[in-house]
Amino acid sequence: MHHASPTAAAIEQLGCPGSRPTCSDRPSCCDKLTTIHLLEITEPATSGGAGPTDPTAWIALSLSVFSIAALFLTRYLDGGRARVKLNAVLLDASWGPVQTITSGIWPIPSKKFTERRPAPDPAAVMELAEIIVENKGRSPVTVLEIGFEWKGERRGAFRRRVVHHATPRIFSLRNYGDRKYIEKSEVRLEPYDGVSMLFDLWTLFEPGRVSPGHVRKLRASVRVSGKSWKSRSSRRKQWKIPDSAVSSIANRSRLTVRGIVTRSVMRITGADVTVVSNPGYIGRLVEQHLGGRWPTEFEKSHELLRSYFETSSEIKAMVHDTETLSLRFNIEYAIQRDLDTHRDLIDWSDIAMPQPDSVPGVIVQHD
């Protein structure tokens, strides 16, 4: 059975002569027939041709999408991409090995230490943070703003927290073994290259700080030159540091005089073995000399330290830069400042006796 097309039926309704009238036969039909013919041209095919289910059209569309995706992927892989890691580090204060906790967790759990290898004494190590930056891309990149990031208070209701970024003092290991750590916060990285740097972590945490939730969530962050966003260390492994924390080693809630003195000496000397022989031993000597005494008056406390540094032959033997006296004075003031700052966090009754027999470079005379 034959059915007239929609276009033919429309022509008959117009009353135009013939199946294909011309404008000269009836001018009033011309404009209307032109519209009908255009609709006939754009009418989708119901049989044959390239319809919506034509496999060729779908294959062409899929290839186009794949080509565009491959183009963006290639551009992404060719560009510089930084991967950031954050590790806890224990630096031996007697110029021994650098112990790195490569799992990235904080604090260092007690299970990391055993009976044969107990947790180190506060005067035996300095607690640092290591940031590792790697270029995973295929192009050289310049990495900027290497440091730490954490969130503060909200500026108002329903607003994001203020993001703080800081780069603490970079800790250098001059004349210390074969492993090298860079000492600058901007570096150029070749493809698949990486660098490590050490930071004095506790300079970010002042005593009496108040953080949101009383916990500061710390992550390492860097920015690749030419990009506005930052690359950060793992969110899952971010360091959740309570405001009451005083050590990277778990289950330590108080500081010791020897630990603070050791940290002060190593901050000043930059872990340079040619300047100071053994900061850990200096910490024990100063702690024994103070004997739990620390005057609140600046003049008295300063005189207590100054007189000891001037008269102690052991201190003079381990602090090598004694000609200008500038190094000794810097160490004295650093110790005094840190002891005053952390006065309320120190366990003044925890006094460890020095062990000079185990200290190289110090001559001990036995009676």
Among 79, 218, 179, 96, smallest CA distance to 136 is for 79
Phi, psi of 4 (to 5 degrees): -70, 145
Q: What does 325-357 look like in DSSP terms, one character per residue?
A: -HHHHHHHHHHHHHHHHTGGGB-TT--PPP-GG
Q: Is the pLDDT of residue 25 over 70?
A: no
Average pLDDT, integer, range 125-149: 92
Predicted local confidence at residue 367, as pLDDT = 33
Cis peptide bond prior to 107, omega within 30° of 0:
yes
For residues 366 and 107, which has the higher predicted lDDT (pLDDT)? 107
Predicted local confidence at residue 87, as pLDDT = 95
The pTM for the full model equals 0.74
Which residue, chain included where needed, has tokens 């950031």? 84
Dist CA 11 CA 146 (whole Å): 77
Predicted local confidence at residue 131, as pLDDT = 95
Dist CA 362 CA 360 (whole Å): 6
Q: Is the pLDDT of residue 116 over 90?
A: no
For residues 162 and 52, which has the higher predicted lDDT (pLDDT)? 162
Predicted local confidence at residue 215, as pLDDT = 94
Q: Which residues, including other chains, have CB under 8 Å from residue 214's CB and lie 6 or more apart?
A: 242, 243, 244
Q: Which amino acid is at 354?
A: P
Contact, 120 vs 203, CB < 8 A? no
Q: Is the pLDDT of residue 365 over 50?
A: no
Confidence grade of residue 37 (pLDDT, cut at 50, 70, 90)? low
Average pLDDT, integer, range 242-249: 93
Average pLDDT, integer, range 328-353: 91
Confidence grade of residue 341 (pLDDT, cut at 50, 70, 90)? very high
Among 104-108, 176-180, 323-327, the least confident range: 176-180
Predicted local confidence at residue 70, as pLDDT = 80
Dist CA 342 CA 207 (whole Å): 7
Predicted local confidence at residue 120, as pLDDT = 87
Predicted local confidence at residue 359, as pLDDT = 39
Predicted local confidence at residue 244, as pLDDT = 92
Confidence grade of residue 363 (pLDDT, cut at 50, 70, 90)? very low
Average pLDDT, integer, range 239-263: 93
Give percent of the chain above pLDDT 90.
Answer: 37
Among 87-91, 245-249, 290-294, 320-324, the least confident range: 320-324
For residues 358 and 62, which has the higher predicted lDDT (pLDDT)? 62
Predicted local confidence at residue 61, as pLDDT = 84
Average pLDDT, integer, range 145-170: 87
When the pLDDT of each residue in the chain is averaged and rounded to a whole number, the result is: 80
Dist CA 290 CA 298 (whole Å): 15
Average pLDDT, integer, range 207-229: 90
Predicted local confidence at residue 64, as pLDDT = 86
Average pLDDT, integer, range 233-253: 93
Q: Is the pLDDT of residue 10 over 80?
A: no
For residues 328 and 33, which has the higher predicted lDDT (pLDDT)? 328
Q: Is the pLDDT of residue 192 over 80?
A: yes
Q: Which residues, including other chains, have CB under 8 Å from residue 99's CB and lie 6 or more apart?
A: 89, 90, 91, 92, 125
Confidence grade of residue 170 (pLDDT, cut at 50, 70, 90)? confident
Q: Is the pLDDT of residue 366 over 50?
A: no
Q: Is the pLDDT of residue 256 over 80?
A: yes
